């Protein structure tokens, strides 16, 4: 039995990754949500779901380590520091989301809907206060909140750190570093992106989803359904970046950080949750439009010009240029 069990992940890499990534994350999300919903009488600190979001990257490291040992893990980590790509791709990952949001704001302005950017004059104070709302803390998040309360530069340091770590580093080793190459080895870049997007969307069943499920029931599933469109459009753009930068993970990490940071900043500018929710929907439409343009311009087979997609070569012999 043992050889059959140990070889199962190699024969079923997509299922193995999905089960492990979801399991690691849900193991932190569900208890915290249950505590927040009043279903548990013992305390579950906010750091539990905070680290549980690293499920995709941890799952990738476990599976790659099991398949290729330390050599495989080193090859994966080399992609994280693979920075020698065209400067235009840094412009894409850092500026694309802000440009989409600014375009949406410009269209809204034509109809007299404009956020109060004066709210951003005290963004660091409001964001620091927001950190203190995440309770109970084992100490790490409380320390971050206290550190940001010292001033705007301290806030900027924590803001940038969380933007890169919570989303970029916590997910991209899994989605783009492991899952995408496995899918692209068998399918077109577009089909692989859709596959990643679907799994990515339902992985976003975070503590808010589980708490809503515990309190409101089936209505909570509206969130992952909305994320399906959102995550699929983003997955196409992330594949486009990944395939055109020779499999760099640094660029998707920065792309992820830029997206999260932009949405957070615009949220602070709006202030009114209803208006911000409308902007999110409009931004998703903008992402879909850009994704369609990329597919038409670069082709669904590769989402790249003149390059084979970055498939999953032998972990022992893979090199990153």
Buried residues in 119-143 as b, exposed as e (16+ CB within 10 A): eeeebbeebbeebeebeebeeebbe
Give residue-wise pLDDT tens across range 186-238.
999 999 999 999 999 999 888 989 999 999 888 788 878 888 999 999 999 99
Residue 306 CB partners (closer than 8 Å, separation 6+): none
pLDDT reading at 272 higher than 60: no
pLDDT reading at 5 higher than 60: no
Chain-wide mean pLDDT for the chain?
A: 88
| Position 275 confidence tier, pLDDT thresholds 50, 70, 90 | low
Is 14 inside any structural domain? yes
The DSSP string of 207-266 is HHHHHHHHHHGGGGGHHHHHHHHHHHHHHHHHHHHHHHTTT-SHHHHHHHHHHHHHHHHH
Is 286 inside any structural domain? yes
Residue span of the structural domain in which 193 resides? 2-298
Distance CA(35)–CA(43), nearest Å, equals 7
Is 316 inside any structural domain? no
pTM of the model: 0.90
Distance CA(293)–CA(297), nearest Å, equals 6
Distance CA(90)–CA(143), nearest Å, equals 32
Is 309 inside any structural domain? no
Distance CA(101)–CA(263), nearest Å, equals 8
Is 271 inside any structural domain? yes
pLDDT reading at 8 higher than 90: no
Counting the structural domains of the chain, the total is 1
Is 123 inside any structural domain? yes
Is 256 inside any structural domain? yes
Q: Report which DSSP code applies to 163.
A: H
**If we measure between CA atoms, which residue out of 248, 278, 241, 279 comes closest to residue 262?**
279
pLDDT reading at 55 higher than 50: yes
Is 314 inside any structural domain? no
| Position 276 confidence tier, pLDDT thresholds 50, 70, 90 | low
Residue position matching structure tokens 């090859």 = 75
Start-to-end Cα distance in the chain: 40
């Amino acid at each position: 039995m043992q050889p059959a069990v140990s070889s199962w992940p190699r024969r079923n890499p997509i299922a193995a990754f999905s089960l492990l990534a979801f399991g690691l994350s849900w193991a932190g999300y569900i208890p915290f949500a249950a505590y927040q919903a009043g279903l548990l009488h013992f305390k579950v600190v906010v750091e539990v779901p905070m680290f549980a979001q690293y499920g995709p990257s941890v799952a990738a490291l476990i599976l790659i380590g099991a398949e290729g040992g330390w050599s495989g893990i080193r090859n994966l980590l080399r992609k994280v520091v693979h920075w020698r790509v065209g400067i235009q791709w840094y412009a894409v990952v850092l500026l694309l989301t802000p440009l989409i949001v600014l375009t949406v704001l410009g269209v809204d302005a034509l109809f007299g809907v404009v956020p109060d950017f004066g709210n951003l004059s005290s963004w660091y104070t409001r964001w620091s206060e927001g950190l203190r709302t995440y309770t109970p803390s084992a100490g790490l998040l409380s320390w971050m909140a206290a550190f940001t309360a010292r001033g705007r530069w301290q806030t900027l340091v924590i803001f940038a750190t969380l933007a890169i770590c919570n989303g970029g580093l916590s997910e991209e080793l899994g989605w783009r570093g492991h899952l995408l190459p496995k899918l692209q080895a068998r399918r077109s870049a577009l089909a692989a992106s859709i596959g990643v997007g679907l799994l990515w969307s339902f992985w976003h069943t975070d503590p808010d989803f589980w708490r809503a499920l515990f309190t409101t029931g089936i209505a909570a599933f509206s969130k992952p359904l909305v994320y399906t469109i959102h995550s699929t459009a983003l997955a196409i753009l992330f594949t486009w970046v990944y395939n055109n930068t020779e499999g760099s993970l640094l660029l998707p990490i920065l792309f992820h950080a830029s997206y999260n940071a932009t949405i957070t900043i615009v949220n602070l500018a709006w202030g009114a949750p209803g208006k911000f929710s409308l902007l999110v929907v409009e931004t998703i439409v903008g992402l879909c439009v850009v994704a369609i343009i990329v597919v038409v311009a670069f082709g669904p087979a590769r989402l790249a010009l003149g390059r084979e997609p970055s498939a999953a070569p032998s972990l022992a012999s893979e090199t990153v240029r």
